[in-house]
Structure 1
Amino acid sequence: MRVDNHSRKIIFLINPISGTRNKTDLRKLVLDEALKHGVAAIVLPTVASGDYAFVASRIEEEGFTDVVICGGDGSVNQVVNALRHTGVHFGIIPLGSGNGLAYSANIPKSTPKAIELIFTGKARKTDAYLINDRFACMLVGLGFDAKVAHDFAQQPGRGLLTYTQQSLKNYFTARTWHFEIVVNDHVIQTDAFFISIANSNQFGNQFTIAPKASLNDGLLDIVLVPRMNKAILPFALIQQVNSGKLKPPAEDAPNTIQYFQAAKLQLRNPDLAPMHIDGEPVETEAFLQINILPRCFSLIQPSL
């Protein structure tokens, strides 16, 4: 549904440390744009704990209709998970290191244009998913990319350069982990560099790992990258992404990148491969039940 500015009240949540961008003028930018459109708006800080009960109370008591997250995928995950039950529309001003969900939803990279979209866009129902009892908006990874996420989180600097440095460092020492995947009546045993379970066609920084992924198709896109010669691995990944070809899961393709879709799957992780959720490192688990949450929340996106 198209947003109606006359009846809106917006909370802008600003993450002061996401990404590398200077936040000095952001508060003024969002409040000036709200004033221009005649929309009541306030600015509140994001909180590292993910406890947004104080925001939920203000939504209920003061009738706020929208919550706009000014930050990265980690902040988006926490805020949407905490407030999705309130029925507000969510918006994103992408200021993080990856911004996968925002870019998958065609939200502009330019901060002024992303702010303008909040007042001109359309709220669309968007899928999310659960990993056991943990919430994800756009991407879950086990293995190599999760190891990078864990190392990246320990660095003093943020941004694409730091992430690239950690990716290269980990590439040369990358190992495989054993996984068992139960999906669509298939059981796949594999030793893999990584497994990605995606709701978004963006891996982050506008890099695509699951090109057919959609935010509202009720399906998850699973990419399995098995043990292979690391000299050919980048070329195999590029070929897979460029082809974008979906195939049914195969139990007997040990050295082939697999790309398939499902609404749910079970994953056993006996080697305890590291895990990330929406780019944020999390404690891994030996067993994962993963289920789509169709039409879970409303996200403001460009009007078609």
Structure 2
Amino acid sequence: MSRRKLVFIVNPRSGVERNKQVQQAIDQIIDKDLYEYEILHTQRAGHGEDLAREAAANGVFAVVAVGGDGSVNDIIRGLYGTGTALAIIPKGSGNGLARALQIPMKVEKALQLINRGKTEMIDIGKANGKIFASNAGLGYDALICKKFANSNRRGLAIYSWLVTKYMWLYRDRSWTIRVNGEELKRKAFLINVANGTQMGYNFKIAPDADWTDGLFDLVIIRKFPKILGGLLAYRMFDGSLLNSRFVERIRTDRVEVSAPDLKWMQTDGDPVSCAETVVFEMLKGVQKVIIP
């Protein structure tokens, strides 16, 4: 039986020594009887998308994203519309996509998962035509993603500091939401359109979201007393966010959200400029992913 082909796409920003460790682990753990493989490194923003598209055109079995949520999102954009599977070696900060898919955080265990080769077709979302896999958001979470992207530091400590600082500084917006045949008006802190369960660092924005049900979990965190911000953050960690009286969840496969002077959204943790109206659309079962 001929061996399947893997292409590993590595984001070199994680550091030379860490990349050497990843390459050594790949060489030691990947089953050579099942797979042949090559390891490529991105050289610029968006390069992962180009490399993934080229790999898919060459008929590889899977492209393995070695990096964080931004790297994974790039590769999904390159794989969209092809039959090539996605696999993930989490090497980013939040790793929301990998955590939501229950991909092990340890490189060795993630590689063993690839050896098993179990796949599933998952849903993908579009926000004004831009692909996202885990979630997209407007309001406060888009602001945090923008501030985090502009920070020279990474990790939970800086993320938590930004969350706390801007919780007090951020002003709630008035939103118009068109969903399931209704037009809703909401004064809200943030609006998140979730396909997966979390935003990274185990912050669960939609604890019971399902990658395969063809529906988004539209999560609206309405205006709340800022003194309760810590409690809401804790609810994200323990998976009880939807029990808060300030949180509303609607399931849908399409939603349109508008706000005056809206300029930014986030898709899989990356800040993206946007129009004052954003249309979110579900694409059911379009991406093959290697899963536990």
State the TM-score, normalized to the length of structure 2.
0.91
The equivalent position to 1:193 in structure 2, one of 189, 196, 203, is 189
Distance 2:260 2:91 in 1: 36
How many residues were matched structurally? 289
Letter in structure 1 aligned against 2:283: L
Task: Verify: 1:113 aligned to 2:103, yes or no.
Answer: no
Letter in structure 2 aligned against 1:57: E
**What's the counterpart of residue 54 of structure 2?**
57
> In the alignment, is the contact (CA less than 8 A) between 2:219 and 2:249 conserved in 1?
yes
Alignment of 1:71-86 (within 5 A): 71-86=67-82
Distance of aligned partners of 1:15 and 1:64 in 2 relative to their CA distance in 1, 3 Å threshold: same
Task: Verify: 1:285 aligned to 2:275, yes or no.
Answer: yes
**What is the SS of the residue equivalent to 1:25?**
helix
> In the alignment, is the contact (CA less than 8 A) between 1:126 and 1:296 conserved in 2?
yes
Distance of aligned partners of 1:232 and 1:238 in 2 relative to their CA distance in 1, 3 Å threshold: same
Identity percentage over the alignment?
A: 31
**What is the SS of the residue equivalent to 1:215?**
coil
Distance 1:19 1:268 in 2: 40
Distance of aligned partners of 1:21 and 1:281 in 2 relative to their CA distance in 1, 3 Å threshold: farther
> In the alignment, is the contact (CA less than 8 A) between 1:222 and 1:260 conserved in 2?
yes
Letter in structure 1 aligned against 2:92: G
Q: Shift in Å at residue 186 of structure 1?
A: 1.8
**What's the counterpart of residue 296 of structure 1?**
286
**What is the SS of the residue equivalent to 2:71?**
helix
Alignment of 1:200-239 (within 5 A): 200-236=196-232, 238=234
Distance of aligned partners of 1:66 and 1:142 in 2 relative to their CA distance in 1, 3 Å threshold: same
Task: Verify: 1:171 aligned to 2:167, yes or no.
Answer: yes
| RMSD of equivalent CA atoms | 2.4
State the TM-score, normalized to the length of structure 1.
0.87
Task: Verify: 1:268 aligned to 2:258, yes or no.
Answer: yes
Cα distance per residue 1:5-38 (max 9 Å; x no partner):
9541100011112599922211121133225544
Q: Shift in Å at residue 196 of structure 1?
A: 0.8
Letter in structure 2 aligned against 1:287: T
> In the alignment, is the contact (CA less than 8 A) between 1:136 and 1:277 conserved in 2?
yes
Gaps of 5+ in 1: 247-254
Cα distance per residue 1:156-186 (max 9 Å; x no partner):
1112222112112212212111210011122
Distance of aligned partners of 1:31 and 1:238 in 2 relative to their CA distance in 1, 3 Å threshold: same
> In the alignment, is the contact (CA less than 8 A) between 1:103 and 1:206 conserved in 2?
yes
Stretches (4+) displaced over 6 A: none
> In the alignment, is the contact (CA less than 8 A) between 1:268 and 1:287 conserved in 2?
yes
> In the alignment, is the contact (CA less than 8 A) between 1:50 and 1:82 conserved in 2?
no
> In the alignment, is the contact (CA less than 8 A) between 1:8 and 1:65 conserved in 2?
yes
